[in-house]
Amino acid sequence: MSRLVIGTRGSALALWQSEYVRAALLAEHPDLEISLQVIRTKGDKILDSALAKIGDKGLFTKEIEKALLEGNVDLAVHSLKDLPTELQHDLTVAAVTTREDPADVLIGKNGHTLDKLAKGAKVLTGSLRRQAQLLYRRSDLVVQDVRGNVQTRLKKFDASDAQAIIFAKAGLVRLNLTERITERLDPVEFLPACGQGALAIEIRKGDTRLVDLLRLLDDLDSRATTAAERVFLGRLGGGCQVPVGAFARISESDRTMSVTGMVANLDGSVLLQDTVSGPFAGVDGAIALGMELAERLLAQGCQEILEQILDRSPLEPEPLP
C-alpha cells in the first residue's frame, strides 16, 4: 500500500483536518504517497436553508462515504460530530483522534460575554442545540440562523448588526482564530455536539492493512468519551433537527468517567439535563454509561419534547441584514 487517497470536504477546516491526518501518517511511514480528493457534500451545496430543514443523515458525509464505498478514496476524514450515529454497513471508523477542546465559544462584539450582552441582542448560530441553550440562559436574546464554513460565518457576523456568534472552539483553534474568542462556554453547563472536537477516520470494513496503519492515530480516551456521547444521541434519535447535546469526560485523578446530556425544546423554555458517572471501563463501559444517561432522560419525559419538535417546523430564522 504505497498510495492512499483521502476523501475530504473542501473547506479550510476540513482540509486542515485531512492534512493533519496525512502528516501524521507520513511522519511514521514516509514511503507512502498520500493525496487528498475534495468532495462536495449536500451540506456544502445548500447554503440558503437552515440545517434542520434539509435533513441531517449524512448531510456532510454521504457523498464522501459513497466515494469510499466505490473505491475512489481509501479513507475519509470527518469531524466526528458530522458522522451519523449509524454507519453504513460496509464502513467502519478505524480511528478517533485525540480530542481538541470540545467546548463551544462565543465571539462577542466589543468584547461582550454571554451574560453581558444587551437585552434583545442578536446572536448568530445555525445549530438548534446552541439556540435552545442560549435561549434557556437568556430568553431575551434574538437568535438568527447563519450557514457556511467558519470564515464565511465570521464574515457574515462582522457585516451584520448581530452582537455575538457561537462556534466550536476546536475549529477556531485549528484555523488559528482563537484571538477572536470572547468567552469559552463551560461544556458541562453549555453542552457541545456529540463528538465535537474529535476527528473520525472512516474506512471500508475488512481493510486490515489500513486498520493497522491508522492505529497510531486512535486515542482510547477520545474514542470512549465520544462513543458515550454518540450512543446517547443515537438512543434519542437526535441530530441537527433536535436540540440534544452531551459531554463525556474522564477524571485524571481517579479515572472516573462522567457523562452529562441534555434535551431541550426549541425556545429553551424546557431543558432536561442529567449526569451519570462510573469507573472508566473502556469503550464498552462508556457505551453503557451513555445508554444509561439516555434512559434516565427518557424516563424524565424527553421523548415528548423530541416528538413535539419533530412534529413542527423549527423556529424561522430572521434574515441577516
Residues in the chain: 321
Nearest of 89, 286, 82 to residue 199 by alpha carbon: 82
Going by their DSSP bridges, the two strands 164-168 and 122-124 should be labelled as: parallel
Cell 485523578 -> residue: 253
Number of H helices, E strands in the chain: 10, 13
74 belongs to the catalytic site: no
**Amino acid, single-letter form, for residue 136:** Y
Radius of gyration of the chain (CA): 19
Containing H/E element for 244? strand 244-250
CB under 8 A, 24+ apart: contacts of 52-56: 52/128, 52/240, 52/241, 52/314, 53/313, 53/314, 55/241, 56/239, 56/240, 56/241
Secondary structure class of 254 (helix, strand, coil): coil
- Which residue out of 82, 104, 145, 221 is catalytically annotated? 82
Q: Show which residues are catalytic.
A: 82
